[in-house]
A = this chain, B = another copy of it.
Amino acid sequence: MKIAVDAMGGDNAPQAIVEGVMLAKKEFSDIEFLLYGKEAEIRKYITDEKNITIIHTDEKINSDDEPVKAIRRKKQASMVLAAQAVKSGEADAIFSAGNTGALLAAGLFIVGRIKGIERPGLMSTMPVIGQEGAFDMLDLGANAENKAEHLLQYGILGSFYAQNVRNISKPRVALLNNGTEDTKGSEVTKKAFELLSNEPAIHFVGNVEARELLNGVADVVVTDGFTGNAVLKSIEGTAMNIMSLLKQAILGAGVKGKLGALLLKDALSGLKDEMDYAKYGGAVLFGLKAPVVKTHGSTGPEAVATTIRQIHTMLATDVVGKLVQQFEEKVSE
């Protein structure tokens, strides 16, 4: 198992990335890591060289680079070299905390789509709040618009992931819509509802509304990239705003606030844990010939290690290989 790591992507690179790799190495002796980036900087954080290969490059893609241009012009960038390694078969998967758009472009143009999948989707596993559980949602913004047929493929992709990686035997697949009734929606969601209803490979449970997402109403939620992007950012923005407001309110309450917060310390940190989006790993650009996985740019070593654990599961279960097979059969039907 070889993972190509873009060691230069993200706000805290290469330190957070390399420290995360070191954490993951303790857990998995069966992964070889190919680290792409500035060798001298990377080497500072390497505590154990076993299973580590550094491929030096000076070039990297910045967070404000225009994605497609950056991929085409910066041919020696750490992210591009990592993608090339997967294409050539030297590595089995890519990890990056860098420019999301550039990683999507590298995934599409260098790693390539699985035959039969029209529009790979960006997928994350998101926590349910107030109870055990999580759900996979896609597309979270790899595409600015999608057809109904793409949404059907997202249902199949998400279900595959939930079965293989999250070990759910019969994942409940739902369609994000503007009402729960079967007849609701736009032209695209109405047609997608029909396609999903008639697909034997998945267990479709109907429409869900955005208000219910965090209540665990489904294991996989399917939506177009524009809406998915808006919903994900609404959830993140609202959670961030409320938590910072809570912090402000406590600080503004003086000594009483300090004492109150001290008494509620465990309760408040439990709250933070429940909302931790990084605990299930990163976002997968799913539908490509290999796992291409992205974590937040501001990520720390723990979240890097969690994402590597996720990639390890994807490789160990061969979820991508199984997908390739499934879609080859569909295409040849």
Contact = CB atoms under 8 A, between A and B. Distances in A.
B253 A233 contact: no
Nearest to A274: B245
Interface stretch (A23-31, A91-99, A110-118, A208-216): A208-216
Interface string A83-112: 000000000000000000000000000000
Interface stretch (A153-161, A254-262, A291-299): A254-262
Interface stretch (A236-244, A282-290, A302-310): A236-244
Given A223-B230, A234-B234, A260-B263, 11 more contacts: A178-B226, A186-B226, A213-B237, A214-B241, A227-B227, A231-B231, A234-B238, A235-B238, A238-B238, A246-B271, A253-B263
A253 B264 contact: yes
A130 interface: yes
20 contacts: A130-B244, A144-B186, A178-B230, A189-B226, A210-B229, A210-B232, A210-B237, A211-B240, A215-B241, A227-B227, A227-B230, A234-B235, A242-B243, A246-B267, A249-B270, A250-B267, A253-B266, A256-B263, A257-B264, A263-B263
Interface of A: 129-130, 141, 144-145, 176, 178, 184-187, 189, 209-215, 223, 225-227, 229-246, 248-250, 252-253, 256-257, 259-264, 266-268, 270-271, 274-275
A290 to B, nearest CB: 26
Given A129-B242, A186-B145, A230-B230, A267 B260 contact: yes
Dominant secondary structure at the A interface:
helix
A93 to B, nearest CB: 26
How many copies of the chain does the oligomer comprise?
2
Contacts of A210: 229-234, 237
A213 B129 CA distance: 22
A283 B248 CA distance: 30
B245 A129 contact: yes
Contacts of A236: 211
